[in-house]
């Protein structure tokens, strides 16, 4: 953990040095990857804070995977829409066969999310809320 924190701080310092070296004198404003490094530092601090909390790591891993699966559906839709456009992909647009496979994967993921949410509502209406604890 300490190694990751050190690497993050070294990267942040390197970005700041490069940014100031190439910026004209008298100009202000942020640039470079400073925001990315700050974001990584915030996530790292959150991870360290979770180590000292009472949250079960296995439940956290499970629910992060569930959230990842739910968020993946709109991300996949956006990616499929982008990969069809020649203005964005130039000569690397997806052929029809790969487009069909991509949309089939999106339908499967969406059906899984709908089934998961449906099973949660079914368990809630039956009165067995012990699944959430």
One pLDDT digit (tens) per residue for the chain, 133 residues:
444 555 555 555 554 555 555 555 545 455 556 667 788 888 888 888 888 888 888 888 899 899 999 999 999 999 999 999 999 888 899 899 999 999 999 999 999 999 999 998 888 887 655 555 5
Residue-wise over 92-101: b if at least 16 C-beta within 10 A, else e?
eebeeeeeee
CA-to-CA dists, residue 66 to 49, 63, 89, 117, 125, angstroms = 22, 5, 31, 11, 21
pTM check: above 0.75: no
């Amino acid at each position: 953990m300490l190694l990751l924190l050190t690497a993050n701080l070294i990267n942040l310092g390197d970005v700041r040095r490069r940014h100031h070296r190439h910026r004209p004198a008298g100009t202000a404003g942020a640039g470079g990857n400073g925001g990315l490094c700050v974001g990584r530092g915030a996530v790292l601090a959150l991870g360290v804070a979770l180590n000292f909390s009472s949250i079960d790591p296995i439940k956290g891993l499970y629910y992060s995977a569930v959230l990842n699966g739910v968020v993946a559906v709109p991300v996949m839709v956006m990616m499929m829409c982008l990969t069809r456009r020649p203005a964005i992909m130039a000569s690397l647009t997806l052929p029809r066969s790969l487009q069909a496979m991509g949309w089939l994967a999106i339908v499967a993921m969406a059906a899984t999310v709908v089934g998961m949410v449906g099973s949660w509502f079914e368990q809630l209406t039956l009165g067995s809320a012990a699944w959430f604890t």
